[in-house]
Each structure stands twice: as C-alpha cells, then as structure tokens.
Structure 1
Amino acid sequence: MDFGLDDEQRAIVDTVRTFVTRELYPHEEEVERTNEVSQELAAQIRKRAIEAGLHAANMPAELGGGGLDAVGMTLAERELGKTSYALQWLVARPSNILQACEGDQRDRYLMPAIKGERYDCLAMSEPGAGSDVRSMTTRAVRDGDDYVIDGTKHFISHADKSDFVILFASTGSDEVRGRKVNLITGFLVDLDSPGLTVVPGPHSVSHRGYHHSELVFESCRVPVANRLGEEGHGFDLMGEWLGASRLTVAATSVGRARRVLDMTIRWAADRQQFGQPIGKFQGVSFQLADMVTELEAADLLTLRAAWKLDHGTMTDQDAAMAKVFASETLGRITDRALQIHGGMGLMEELPIERFWRDARVERIWDGTSEIQRHIIGRSLLRPLDA
C-alpha cells in the first residue's frame, strides 16, 4: 500500500501551508488579545484566499469551486487546522449541503457562496436538543406560500459573520421504532429576515474570535421556495453533511496536534534541567514517543476515511472513528505538551495554553465523543440484529 502523496497533493499541502504561515500566523496574537477579527483583516484574508485559489476548494470545479476530492480537502484542512479557527474559517469552505440547492436557490445561495459573495452558517443545535437532533422544538408551519418559523437555535458558529443560515426545523412528527420523533426539514434563511434576531452567545474559552450566536425566530416567514430539499427529509441532508464535517474536525485536530508536537519537541531539546535537555529524561521522551505515535495513527485513520469517501465506500463508522480518535488525540497531546512546558505552559506568553483550551471543544461539536462511540458500536452490532 502506497501512503505517499503525489505531485498534486504535495502542491496542495505546500500552497496551504505557505498561505497559513504568511497570511494567518501573524494575526494569531491579535485575535487572542481582542477576541475579534476586524472587518478589514477579514476582508484582506478572504481576498487573498480567493487570489490563491483556496476559497471554496471543496466545491466542484464545474461550479467554480476548487474541485478538491476528499483526500485533497483533508490535506488542506490539516494545514488550516494549525492556526486559529477565527482566522482559518475565513479561508471559506461553503457547507457541502448547499449542493442540494435547486433552481433559483443556486443563483441566490450556492453560486454566491462559491464566489465569496455570501457566507453561510448552519443551525441545528438548540438549548434542549444537542446530540438528540430529532427532539428539536424549532418549528416551521406551512402557511400558503410561506413557512412560519418559531424557536431558538444556539451555539451557531460564525453567525455574526454570515449572510444566511442553513436552518433545520421540525415540520411534523412520525413514529420510528415505537418512538415519536420530529420530521426535520432544511431551509435557507437570510439573516436579515424579519422575525429573525441574532444574539451573541455566551463567552467560550475555546477559539477566541470565532464566535457563536443564538438565533431567535419569532413568526419568521420563509418562502416555500427557500426550502432545501423535500419536506421531512432534512435528516437525510444532515447525514450527508455530517460525514464531511466530522472529517474536517479530524483533519484540523491532526494539524493542530502536529504544530503542538513540533513546539514541544523543540522545547524538550532546548530546555535545560540538571545539566541536560529535559528531552533526555525518560519522563519526557516517553511522552513524546506516545504523542507522535498517536498522532501518526490519527492521521492515517483520517486519511483512510477520506480515501474511502472518494471511492464511495466511507461509512458512518469510518467518519466517527476518525473524528473521535483524532479529537481525543489532540486533547492528550495538548495536555502532555502543557505538562512538559511546566509552569510556562499555562502562561499567555506561550501559545500552549491556547492550544490546550481550544482542543477541548473538538470532542463536543459536530457530534460528541459519546455520539461517535454510539455510531461505532451500533455499526458493529446492527449486522447481528443486536
């Protein structure tokens, strides 16, 4: 089996790595200090990302996107993951779910997103419905040529920087295996729509400058023409999107873990105690050995899932295994890195404490570690009718 990259893949890595180093790294400290990315800086990064051919790299070439396959996107996400989410998000990858747009929706939402003229966010989570998506209470009721939407969404990433939301709401109910569940439908909703209010969410310790918001819908009228797909089939659309999104979390976790490990190796080689580099002590060198071994395993697991996605064989189990292992590996690596750095690891003068804080959310968003394990366990037992 050949694990090497071909010339095109190496070019992808080099291009994204150079962009991240030149255009994003220099602004990390400012974002950490201010908890904000200025409009001027955001516009500059977006413009340069478009010029570099990195914008909408995940979208088909025939639509004007970069046309990268899953492996190519994983390699790109791995490099982007090395820096702040608030900065790397500006190298926009429109949600894959927008490819479900039809008719006029393509002109109003899909194509502007690919061109960098409009930006999307995704709204699924609610105060009372996180992992249990089917229990969402935000409702869309058909009224003539409109749907009237009422309810609240929270933890909606970068809604404050977006133009429209891909919303999932309940449009009825059905009984599945003896349990009453909501039928979910997708909608495209402009964030300036009457009846929709964007409220800043609580402060998060992870990913400063990358904000989340609450979306409050109060008799918000959305045209039927803005429905994404068929009524009641939104859960299927979410399923298609979540696989790619979990690969993104896995890839960015691998990239950030690689950067932390590199910093920690340098620290272990330079930091002197008892007359020698601390890396020579088994208490440190063994931790470094575990860190790099787990990181290589997470990288291969993620690339394997991406390769299977390109070949049409990736399962929910593949994506779940990559997401849970890579995100938890990142958590272990950042924790060990902080321990090796000692007291300085907790000081804001070094970025280690930031990576440590940022790593924690990866085990929660886009499906918690518990949900991923449930998916894996279910996949193992279902063929046996258990």
Structure 2
Amino acid sequence: MDFRLTDEQRLIYNTAREFCEKELIPHEVLLENSGELPRELEFEIRHKAIAVGLHACNMPESVGGGGLDCVSLTLVEKGLTRASSALADCVHRPNKILAACEGDQISHFLQPVMRGEKRECIAMTEPDAGSDLKGMKTRADRDGPDWVINGTKHFITNAQRSQFVIVFAVTGKDETPTGTRKRISCFLVDLDTPGLDVGVGYHQLGHRGETNEILHFNNVRVGSWQMVGGEGEGFKVVTEWLGEGRLTVAAVCQARAERAFEVAVAYAAQRKQFGQPIGKFQGIGFPLADMAIDIRLGDMLLMNTAWRVDQKFPSVAQDCAMAKVWCSEMLGRVADQAIQTCGGMGLMADLPLERIYRDARGERIWEGTSEIQRLIISRELMRENGA
C-alpha cells in the first residue's frame, strides 16, 4: 500500500502548518492570559485565511469552497489545530450542512458564510438529552406557512460570535413497527430573531477564548423556507454530519499529541542531569518511545479512516468512531507523559503542555463520548455478524 502523500497534499498540509505557526500560535499567550479572543483579531485571521485559500476549504467547489477530499481536509485540520481551538476556529470551515441550502437560504445564509461575512453555530444538545438525540424535546410546530420553535439548547459553541444557528427540533411523531418515532427536522435561524435568547453558558475546563452558550427558543417564528431538506430529514442530516465531526476531533487530537511530543523530546534532549541528556535515561526514554508508538498508530488510523471515507467504504461510521476513541484517549496519555517528561517546567505556561493537557480532557466527551463511540463500534460488529 502506498502511504505517500501527493505533491498537492504536501502543499496543502504545509500551507496549513505554516499558517498556524505564523498567524495562530503567536497569539496563544494573549489568549491564555486574557481568556478572550479579540473580535478584531478574529476578523484579521479570517481575512488572511481567505487570502491563502484555507477559508471554507471543506465546502464543495459547487458552492465556492475548496472542494478538498477527506484526506486533504484531515491534513488541513492537523496543520491548523496545533494551535488553541479558538484561534484555529478563526479559519472557518463551515458546517457542511450548509451545502444543502436551497432557494433563499443560499443568499441569506450560505453565500455570506462563504464570503466570510457570517458564521454559523449548531444547536443539537439539550440539558436532558445529550447523546440521546431521540430524546430531543425542542419542538417546532407548524402555524400556517411558518414554524414556531420552543425549547432549550446548551453547549452551543461560539454562539455569541455567530449570526445564525443550525437548530434541530422535533416536528412530529410517526408510528412504526418498533414504536413511536420522532420526526426531527433542521432549521436555519438568525440569532436576532424575536424570542431567541442567547444566554451565558458555563465556565469550562480549558479551551480559553472559546465560549459556549445556552439558547432559549420562546415562540421563535421561522418561515418554511428556513427548513433544510424535508420535514423529518434532520436525523439523516445529523448522522451524516456526526461522522465527519468525529474525524475532525481525531485530527485535532493527533495534531496536539504531535506538538506535545515534539516539546517533550526537545526538552529531554536538551535538559541534562548527571552529565547527560535526561532522554538517555530509560525512565525518560522508554515513555518517549511509548508516546512515539501511540502517535504513529493514531496517525495511521486517522489517515486510513480519511482514505476510507473518500473511497466510500460502507462502515465509515465505525471507522470514524474508532479514530475518535483512539486519538482522543491517546492525546490524554501523551499530554500527561509530556508534562511528566518536562517535570516542573511542564506545569509552567512557558511551555504549551499545561494548556494542551487542559484542553485534551474535553475531546473524549464532545461529538459523542468514548462510551458512545464504543457503542457504535460494538453495534456494527454485531450487525456484521447477524446479531
């Protein structure tokens, strides 16, 4: 099997990596010290990303995006997300749900996003229905030509920096042979719509500069033209989007693990005790070897999964779940050992390790917990064997 990247893929990765090193990482200290991402800095990074072709590189060419395949996009994610999430997110890769926009949705939502004038957030999680999407309670009821939305969504990343929300709501119920099934539909809603309140979210572990908000929908009226796809097709939209989202998390974890490892190896080679670099002592060298193995396995699993997505393998949901489990849990191990390698300095903000360590914990939770990923994998195994 040929694992070599093409010349174009190497260029794509190098462009993203260089952009990260030059335009993102230098601002990490500001972000960590203030806990806030200045709006003018966000716009500055966004315009620079547009200039080099990284903005909306994940979107199809048919809507003005970069049209990257999954392997190339994964390389972009690896290159950019070595930096803090809030900074990497300034290089906007819109939710691909927007590629399904039709009619007035194109001019009102899609095109401004593609021009960098607007950005979206996504509202799926609810206080009483986390990973259980079928337990969703937010409703959208038909009222003449419109829909009226009521309910609460939380953990909405960067809602305060967005202009509209992709929201999922129950629009009815169907009786099936296996019981009652909720019809879940997808809507695009401007965040300044009357009745929609963007509330302050929670104080979170890590990811400084990245906010989460609570959205309260109180008789929020939207037009039928704001529904993406047909009524009841929201669960299909969610399922298609979640796989790619999980692979993105895996790429983020892989990038951060590689950065933490590089810091640890450099420190172990330079720091001397008893007349020699500490990396030559087995107590330091062997854990570094284990980290190298973990990272190599993660990269192979990540890139193989991206390749399988491009090849349209039938079991990519299982593949993406495997990649997310391994890479997110591997990042936790590597970040922890990198700090141990650097000793007291690993705990200091002079190195990026303590930030990477803090940020790593959330990766095993969002986009589906490790337990949910294992459930997906085990169910597919049973399905393949007729159970």
TM-score normalised per structure 2: 0.97
Q: Which amino acid aligns with 1:146?
A: D
Which residue number in structure 1 is paired with residue 361 of structure 2? 360
Q: Distance in 2 between matches of 1:63 and 1:224?
A: 22
Q: Is 2:353 the partner of 1:349?
A: no
Which residue number in structure 2 is paired with residue 97 of structure 1? 97
Q: Distance in 1 between matches of 2:319 and 2:114?
A: 28
Q: Which amino acid aligns with 1:270?
A: Q
Aligned-pair distance for 1:346?
2.0
Which residue number in structure 1 is paired with residue 238 of structure 2? 238
Q: Secondary structure at the match of 2:168?
A: strand
Aligned-pair distance for 1:343?
2.4
Aligned-pair distance for 1:375?
0.4
Which residue number in structure 1 is paired with residue 130 of structure 2? 130
Which residue number in structure 2 is paired with residue 282 of structure 1? 282
Q: 1:280 to 1:177 in 2, by over 3 A?
A: farther
Q: How does 1:233-272 map to 2 (within 5 A)?
A: 233-272=233-272
Q: 1:275 to 1:177 in 2, by over 3 A?
A: farther
Kindly indicate whether the alpha-carbon contact (under 8 Å) linking 1:260 and 1:337 is maintained by their aligned counterparts in 2: yes
Percent of residue pairs identical = 53
Q: Distance in 1 between matches of 2:329 and 2:318?
A: 16
Aligned-pair distance for 1:181?
4.2
Q: Secondary structure at the match of 1:247?
A: helix
Which residue number in structure 1 is paired with residue 146 of structure 2? 146
What does the per-residue CA deviation read over 1:296-319, in whole Å, with 9 as the maximum and x for residues that have no partner?
111111111111111211521011
Q: Distance in 1 between matches of 2:279 and 2:179?
A: 56
Q: Secondary structure at the match of 1:45?
A: helix
Which residue number in structure 1 is paired with residue 55 of structure 2? 55
Aligned-pair distance for 1:168?
0.5
What does the per-residue CA deviation read over 1:234-292, in whole Å, with 9 as the maximum and x for residues that have no partner?
00000111111111111111111111100000111112223322111112111111111
What does the per-residue CA deviation read over 1:43-66, in whole Å, with 9 as the maximum and x for residues that have no partner?
110110101111000011232111
Kindly indicate whether the alpha-carbon contact (under 8 Å) linking 2:63 and 2:99 is maintained by their aligned counterparts in 1: no
Unaligned stretches of 5+ in structure 2? Answer: none
Kindly indicate whether the alpha-carbon contact (under 8 Å) linking 1:126 and 1:153 is maintained by their aligned counterparts in 2: yes
Q: Which amino acid aligns with 1:238?
A: V
Q: Distance in 2 between matches of 1:72 and 1:140?
A: 38
Which residue number in structure 2 is paired with residue 202 of structure 1? 202
Q: How does 1:51-200 map to 2 (within 5 A)?
A: 51-174=51-174, 178=178, 180-200=180-200
Which residue number in structure 1 is paired with residue 380 of structure 2? 379
What does the per-residue CA deviation read over 1:319-340, in whole Å, with 9 as the maximum and x for residues that have no partner?
1111111111111100111111
Q: 1:177 to 1:76 in 2, by over 3 A?
A: farther
Q: Which amino acid aligns with 1:377?
A: S
Q: Secondary structure at the match of 2:213?
A: strand
Q: Which amino acid aligns with 1:46?
A: R
Q: Which amino acid aligns with 2:73?
A: M
Kindly indicate whether the alpha-carbon contact (under 8 Å) linking 2:45 and 2:91 is maintained by their aligned counterparts in 1: yes
Q: Which amino acid aligns with 2:229?
A: G
After superposition, the CA RMSD in angstroms is 1.3
Q: Secondary structure at the match of 2:43?
A: helix
Aligned-pair distance for 1:177?
6.7
Aligned-pair distance for 1:344?
2.4
Q: Is 2:229 the partner of 1:229?
A: yes
Q: Is 2:19 the partner of 1:11?
A: no
Q: Secondary structure at the match of 2:93?
A: coil
Q: After alignment, is 172-181 or 304-313 more displaced?
A: 172-181
Unaligned stretches of 5+ in structure 1? Answer: none
Q: Which amino acid aligns with 1:85?
A: S
- How many equivalent pairs are there? 386
